[in-house]
Homo-oligomer: A and B are copies of this chain.
Amino acid sequence: MNPILESLEPSLIRAVYNRKRPDDLDLCLGEPVLPVDLQAFEAAVAWVRDHRCPYGPTTGLLELREAIVHHYRYPFLTAPENVCVTVGSEEAAYIALRAAVDPATDEVLVVEPAYPVYARICLIEGIRCRTVALTADDGFAPRAELVIEALGPDTRLVVLCSPSNPTGRIWPREELERLASALHDRPGPPVQVLFDEVYRELYYSSEAPTSMAALYPHTWVASSLSKSHALTGLRVGWLMAPRAGIAAATRVHHLAVTSSSTFSQRVALELFGKPASFGAHRQHYLTRHAFVKERLLAHRFDHVLGEGAFYCLIRLEGARAGDSVAAAFDLLETARVATVPGRAFGMPCEGWLRVSWVAGPEVLREGLERLRNWMSA
């Protein structure tokens, strides 16, 4: 047996999830609960009726890859050869991390707070991984300067997520420009950027988030339809990257999964044919975002509620702030509210809980009230 896999600790998100009972209030859920576009599924079935359900090309259906580059219009990622259709954005991140660095010499730099999988993938793949922390003092505001200062001689890949899980913060265009400019000016082989924008469509600011791919040629984009279209179970996403990157990443993709589901890709192709569907859920989340904001203020939580995604962070008070894992389990046991301990997202988040606000207002209202009572007890 592989000792690295045997010794890997279960993810803290999964640990809470496994301890949750059916009638606990769920504020840890990371998936939308909105209706899905059934017409797209029906169209895909009609396609299967006419074409059966054969393998597609390894990198994905050509029409879908064309639709993806056309939809995003990133200046350096314009050809179908810049795309590999994946099993969700998770596989996109996985094959990107496998391809973009030489495990023998290179280092990955992950900007925290961060979704824990990047570091965990590095761990099981023997890739050196270092982290750089955004700071709680300014609400984990994205700051290029911190990332630039943290670059080491071996750093060959920087991992960013915007809008961020768990903070909801969006990297402003000027911060990304600053980062792109510094990376561009760096001597030696270019530093690649893995830019996870799976929450890209879920923003509550006046302007859509800027993608690093709009600014920097060495960007690898991981994304999917999971969050924008409430289709986490469809497992369709994509990696967009320079051609050589896609070529290398596709080798892992081919050996790990052969290709993505043809059916799921047909559903995706239907949805790319309806560009308005990408923003269709935004109004719903905007209303919920305002509701959560009002509740957080009413309960006087010290909190971070970013401009995107569907999470917020709530700071633990007093003695509880020292151990977010113990706190999250105590909250679950005594008040029956499931949240994710901040430590899951790196040490900068220790002392916080991540609260998902995809649940309905009733659950949110009651959950936050119980959280306040538990915290004040």
- The residue on B at minimum CB distance from A101 is B2
Give the chain B neighbours of A12 by CB distance below 8 A.
none
A235–B265 CA distance with the chains assembled, in angstroms: 11
Chain A, 13-51, contact with B by CB distance < 8 Å: what is the 0/1 string? Answer: 010000000000000000101111010011001001100
Q: Can you sample 11 A-B contacts with CB below 8 Å? A: A1-B99, A2-B101, A36-B53, A38-B45, A41-B48, A42-B45, A53-B230, A53-B232, A87-B256, A234-B261, A235-B264
A298 at the A/B interface (Cβ < 8 Å)?
Answer: no
Report yes or no: B255 in contact with A233, Cβ–Cβ below 8 A: no
Give the chain B neighbours of A124 by CB distance below 8 A.
251-252, 255
A48–B39 CA distance with the chains assembled, in angstroms: 11
Least distance between A219 CB and chain B CB atoms (Å): 15
A346–B192 CA distance with the chains assembled, in angstroms: 37
A262 at the A/B interface (Cβ < 8 Å)?
Answer: yes
Least distance between A347 CB and chain B CB atoms (Å): 21
A103 at the A/B interface (Cβ < 8 Å)?
Answer: yes
Given contacts A1-B99, A31-B55, 13 further A-B pairs with CB under 8 A are A2-B100, A2-B101, A2-B103, A35-B52, A88-B257, A90-B256, A91-B258, A94-B256, A94-B257, A121-B255, A235-B262, A261-B261, A261-B264
A145 at the A/B interface (Cβ < 8 Å)?
Answer: no
Give the chain B neighbours of A357 by CB distance below 8 A.
none
Report yes or no: A263 in contact with B234, Cβ–Cβ below 8 A: yes
Assuming the A-B contacts A53-B232, A56-B233, are A91 and B31 also in contact, with contact meaning beta carbons closer than 8 angstroms in the complex? no
